[in-house]
Structure 1
Amino acid sequence: MRSAPGLTGPTWIMARRQTAGRGRRGRAWADPPGNFAATLLLHPQGGPAEAARYSFVAALAVHDAVRALCGPHPILALKWPNDVLLNGGKLSGILLEGVGSGSSIQALAIGIGINLLTVPDTLSVEPDALHPVSLQGETGLTVTPDEMLPALATAFADWQARMKDGGFDPIRRAWLARAARLGDTITARTGATRTTGRFEGIDDSGALILTGPRGRQVIPAADIFFTGA
């Protein structure tokens, strides 16, 4: 963010070693050596609602970058709102942070972590959360951060161009085609509030749609837990 005023275009910043990483809601993000940690800095058009859509662009980019480097065999899926899964475990997390005033976003940082080589200590994983997995541990394939960065940047630029040309709808449809547990019963937790229902999809803003005992509910932000996972 300190670099943002001097940058005129999209800029990727990759960390060789990250010692104070953080995830959503200020949680610690462990980053063992050999894994991927990078941030894309953008100057987006629009406000927070438009900026939030980049979470889906980033997830699609991670999905496609892994496929480009590893082929079609890894079983990948996207977990709302910002995780990429491999064989049912958490491979990657995405965090968006913006700065601006009023309804305008002047700079948007899209942080992406990918467990390429190892997984963090499972003691740091929140209870009921999906277990972390690594690309090498699940597939036997070794991908370095230097190999991941250009593949990810290329995939992100492609999906960003699709959103620029077609709006959020093509991103939404592509994300849903890769969504984990679509049609299953899941639980959304926001603070002390838990909502369980059938995962019907996401709306035009990217909010989660659940259908449960209280009918159809639209949830803009929450942590998701899979029933019976």
Structure 2
Amino acid sequence: MPQWLPQKRLWVNRLPHRRTQAWSSPESFLLTRCQPVSETGPTGWPEGVARHILERVDSTNAEAMRLAPHLSGPAWVLAHRQEAGRGRRGRAWTDPPGNFAASLVMRPEGGAGDAARLSFVAALALHQALIRLCGPHLNIALKWPNDVLLNGGKLSGILLESAGAGGQVATLVIGIGVNLSQAPDVGQVEAGATRPVSLKGETGLTITPEEFLDALAIAFDDWHRQMRTYGFAPIRQAWLARAAKLGETITARTGTVETTGVFEGIDETGALILMTPRGKQAIPAADIYFSGG
């Protein structure tokens, strides 16, 4: 069994690692701030996967990382209230009541690159869960590297964090947020970014976080099994079949550098492939902007 190591962040799609402070005193946090509601899954819940539902927590990713040393296998952590949620690149994120905030903690196989590609598994699982709960006519698309769009607006995001050393990932946490009930305040959204939407606002449907967790856990298990059996190729193919703006001109921004080109796909590592005036470019990490926001 791999040794548990201090936490560091693994950005999706081969973003560089950045060391952060390891969490301490998990017992005190669990006893004073979190109130477990359920630890058993419903019928159809993936075998060997724990299910923790909490009333409130700072962030589900942080709680999942604290729980990791005490777990014998993968576990989902769902919080009804997330008080210090965050998005990519450490951006603060507030979850309105009724929205979905959960994290899956696991010991992945392979190195950091294999772990990062699980963001595509998570995106496909989100797509499958939404279709299962809302019907096949839902207008959903997947935006590279880690967003799910509904009617062109951002419905969901994914954040991966890890603990490990030497290119190996001992612990991986996959954080997922879904605007089930309300879209966040637009003041939280970066200028030019995709507008946020909610499932209820776009469809009128009411899905509880627990209902969504049950569908998502089953869907993730399905897609993860495919990746373990057949590798990344079928995951890549399935993701591209659901990709937003494939074949269209988009802009990738990394820091102050912008690259505009035709979105041709993703490679075997999950990097974005753009055809630019200077030729084909592979972009491992960036924020993506569409024409018109």
Structures share a fold, TM > 0.5? yes
Report the count of equivalent residues.
Answer: 229
Counterparts in 2 of 1:1-229, with a 5 A limit?
A: 1-229=65-293
Please tell me the residue identity of whatever aligns with 1:130: T
Please give the secondary structure, in 2, of the residue aligned with 1:204. coil
Deviation at 1:73, TM superposition (A): 2.0
1:143-178 CA-to-partner distances (Å, cap 9, x unmatched) read: 000110110000000000000010000000000000
Deviation at 1:10, TM superposition (A): 1.1
Please give the secondary structure, in 2, of the residue aligned with 1:138. helix
Please tell me the residue identity of whatever aligns with 2:127: H
Please tell me the residue identity of whatever aligns with 2:157: G
1:25-58 CA-to-partner distances (Å, cap 9, x unmatched) read: 0001120000000000010011110000110000
Deviation at 1:228, TM superposition (A): 3.1
1:44-85 CA-to-partner distances (Å, cap 9, x unmatched) read: 011110000110000000111010000012100000000000
Please tell me the residue identity of whatever aligns with 2:94: A
Please give the secondary structure, in 1, of the residue aligned with 2:233. helix
Whole-angstrom CA distance in 2 between matches of 1:25 and 1:127: 16
Which structure: larger Rg?
2
Q: Percent identity?
A: 67
RMSD: 0.7
1:66-125 CA-to-partner distances (Å, cap 9, x unmatched) read: 100000121000000000000000000000000101111000000000000001110110
Please give the secondary structure, in 1, of the residue aligned with 2:127. helix
Normalised to the residue count of structure 2, the TM-score between the two structures is 0.77
Unaligned stretches of 5+ residues in structure 1? none
Whole-angstrom CA distance in 2 between matches of 1:103 and 1:166: 23
Whole-angstrom CA distance in 2 between matches of 1:228 and 1:123: 18
Please tell me the residue identity of whatever aligns with 2:112: P
Whole-angstrom CA distance in 2 between matches of 1:167 and 1:9: 22
Normalised to the residue count of structure 1, the TM-score between the two structures is 0.99
Whole-angstrom CA distance in 2 between matches of 1:169 and 1:55: 14
Whole-angstrom CA distance in 1 between matches of 2:137 and 2:82: 30
Whole-angstrom CA distance in 2 between matches of 1:79 and 1:30: 21
Deviation at 1:16, TM superposition (A): 1.0
Give runs of ≥4 in structure 1 deviating > 3 Å: none
Deviation at 1:141, TM superposition (A): 0.5
Whole-angstrom CA distance in 1 between matches of 2:137 and 2:197: 16
1:170-214 CA-to-partner distances (Å, cap 9, x unmatched) read: 000000000000000000000010000000000000000000111
Please give the secondary structure, in 2, of the residue aligned with 1:15. strand
